[in-house]
Structure 1
Amino acid sequence: MNSTAFEYFRTAASLVFTPQCFDNYFFDFNYLDVPCFKSSLSKALGLLIILGSLTVRVPQIVKIYNNQSGKGINIVAVTLDLSAITIYMAYSFIKGFPFSAWGDATFLAVQTVIVGALVLYYESSQTKAISYLLGYLVVCYVMLSGLTPLNVLWSLQTFNILLVIFGKLTQAWTNYNNGHTGQLSAITLFMLLGGSVARIFTSMQETGDNVVIMTYISSASANFVLVLQLWWYWNVDIKEKSE
């Protein structure tokens, strides 16, 4: 491999390996370095989660659009979920955490606000859907532009644990009352569960922030409840239940 090609390879590898770990693996052939293994695994998982987050809610969006319905999706639960994602995104951005540790939140936020707007569009009105989108853009500007002090963002991140739990369980309660999971997408729920479980490890490795770690533990637990409900109500006829 010539020097130019090697430099390109080293640059690409830096997405996963720190300079020290790169040298350990590719120069010293030391494959038993535990700290390097944990660090590289965390960065690799982070990248996979970010790639997955590009489409994680797309099946949900497509399902709502194809059925022209947001039936069974609790807009309060969606908004609480969106709030938790946005708080974490703003907190991580202002704190300067590595993008691999929180980048998925950016793509999740975009897709979640689209879900919320579609639910309002089909179940309420076009005006409410547009207002929802515009209101969210204003909130993002205030939280990400530096107008919101870091200590306020830290307090909000602490509150995030309750937001995550309450938001997911609100949807779980809606599912229970309806006797079905409505337009919830199985693919989306499984991807969210897998992502939140993986984020527990990456947060421990890359941020060391106990509040962030506890947030993802709470998110994984609540997502697991929704996945269980999906399995429980799998064969329920939504139209029959609605009647």
Structure 2
Amino acid sequence: MTTITRNLPWFIRNPGVNLIGEKCYASLVEELQLGDSECLKFALSKGLGVGIVVGGSIAKVPQALNILFAGSARGLSLSAYVLETLAYAITLVYSYRNEFPFSTYGENFFLTLQNSVITTLIVYFPSTALKSGRSNVGGAFITILALIAGAALLLVTPAPTLSLLQAATVPLGVLSKLPQITANYRARSTGQLSVVAVGSQIAGCLARLFTTATEVGDTMLFLGFAVALVLNCVLGAQMWMYWNADRDDVEMDMGKLQVGEKGKEWARSGQVDIVIPPGTPTAPSSNTPSGRRWSRKVD
């Protein structure tokens, strides 16, 4: 068997060596030393890291699509997304400047971009449940400029200040989730919050705790992911608790929409049902026909 594994083609060997290094590739792949716990742990961490980066590239896409299809940002907290985007951006720049392996922070690049899009959509679309035709173009444009300016500022921030900012991502992570958690609790609903996005964040935080401990060993990063895991689990619990309430809200909104469309049809046809509530009966006058109906249709 080792005769085959030692002679694998370059398009398999080269990516493997680049991912786990020459030593671990030789041990695990060429020699099939699966008892090498150190290399096995390292390879598992690398594999998880690559999976998280790939998953992170699409993790928030369902959330953005939810807003676009609904034409509404109902239930989503703008302050929560602003703070979360800032935390992602700080971790991205901090990891890049410290030359950590891309597999340990790459998803932050994609999550920062996706969160920026979602933040802009929250500003652009109304927060009502049904499409109202109102949109905030000016606010969305200002949001885009602010995001670009913030990214440029982080890139030129001195290293000591950047380290302090990374330490601040722990309380920042708490502050970024509390508005959304509070809004969900008050409304007894999670609105347009995406279950796929929340679930992927929980899985990503779990995997990042392992990869950070294995490859980086940075206490600030580890603590940040631990706090994020707890808060994302709270959001996941709220989605489970308020699942039926959200379904009822959607049904009610659809019912209102159908009633509204029916009213438009009646108005276009010129037929309106006028219902006169019954009151105290009065004696019919001489010019009033007997047996008057309480409702009649006016064409």
Query: Same fold, TM exceeding 0.5?
Result: yes
| Counterparts of residues 25-40 of structure 1 (less than 5 Å) | 25-40=28-43
The residue identity in structure 2 corresponding to 1:196 is C
Q: Pick the aligned partner of 1:16 from 15, 19, 40.
A: 19
- C-alpha change, 1:4 and 1:38, in structure 2 (3 Å) is closer
Give the structure 2 partner of residue 74 of structure 1: 77
Q: Of Structure 1 and Structure 2, which has the larger fraction of its residues in helix? A: 1
The residue identity in structure 2 corresponding to 1:95 is N
> How far apart in 1 are the matches of 2:35 and 2:90?
38
Give the structure 1 partner of residue 223 of structure 2: 214
| Counterparts of residues 217-232 of structure 1 (less than 5 Å) | 217-232=226-241
| Counterparts of residues 186-225 of structure 1 (less than 5 Å) | 186-225=195-234
Deviation for aligned residue 1:150: 1.0
Whether contact under 8 Å (2:76, 2:193) holds in the other structure is yes
Deviation for aligned residue 1:155: 0.3
> How far apart in 2 are the matches of 1:205 and 1:150?
24
Deviation for aligned residue 1:100: 0.2
- Secondary structure class of the residue paired with 1:14: helix
| Counterparts of residues 170-189 of structure 1 (less than 5 Å) | 170-189=179-198
- Segments of 4+ moved more than 6 angstroms: none
- Secondary structure class of the residue paired with 1:18: helix
Give the structure 2 partner of residue 44 of structure 1: 47
- Secondary structure class of the residue paired with 1:79: helix
Deviation for aligned residue 1:27: 3.0
> How far apart in 2 are the matches of 1:172 and 1:217?
17
Give the structure 1 partner of residue 170 of structure 2: 161
> How far apart in 1 are the matches of 2:16 and 2:145?
39
Give the structure 1 partner of residue 149 of structure 2: 138
Q: Figure out how many residues of one structure are paired with residues of the other and give that number.
A: 240
Deviation for aligned residue 1:4: 9.5
- Secondary structure class of the residue paired with 1:8: helix
Q: Percent identity?
A: 30
Deviation for aligned residue 1:111: 0.5
Q: Pick the aligned partner of 1:121 from 124, 135, 141.
A: 124
What is the TM-score when the length of structure 1 is the normalising length?
Answer: 0.94
Give the structure 1 partner of residue 161 of structure 2: 152
After superposition, give the CA deviation of every residue in 1:120-140 in whole Å (9 maximum; x if it has no partner).
000261111111112111211
After superposition, give the CA deviation of every residue in 1:171-229 in whole Å (9 maximum; x if it has no partner).
00010111100000111110111001110111111211000000000000000000000
- Secondary structure class of the residue paired with 1:235: helix
- Once the two structures are overlaid, the 10-residue window that deviates more, 228-237 or 124-133, is 124-133
- Once the two structures are overlaid, the 10-residue window that deviates more, 21-30 or 100-109, is 21-30
- Once the two structures are overlaid, the 10-residue window that deviates more, 224-233 or 131-140, is 131-140
- Secondary structure class of the residue paired with 2:142: helix
> How far apart in 2 are the matches of 1:65 and 1:34?
47
**In the alignment, is residue 7 of structure 1 matched against residue 10 of structure 2?**
yes
- Once the two structures are overlaid, the 10-residue window that deviates more, 213-222 or 230-239, is 230-239
The residue identity in structure 1 corresponding to 2:208 is R
Deviation for aligned residue 1:42: 0.6
- Once the two structures are overlaid, the 10-residue window that deviates more, 89-98 or 119-128, is 119-128
RMSD: 1.9
Deviation for aligned residue 1:19: 1.1
> How far apart in 2 are the matches of 1:136 and 1:66?
24
Whether contact under 8 Å (1:193, 1:224) holds in the other structure is yes
- Secondary structure class of the residue paired with 1:206: helix
Gaps of 5+ in 1: none
**Structure with max Cα Rg:** 2
The residue identity in structure 2 corresponding to 1:76 is S
- Secondary structure class of the residue paired with 1:83: helix
Whether contact under 8 Å (1:74, 1:171) holds in the other structure is yes
Whether contact under 8 Å (2:28, 2:40) holds in the other structure is no
> How far apart in 1 are the matches of 2:201 and 2:14?
30
Whether contact under 8 Å (1:15, 1:43) holds in the other structure is no
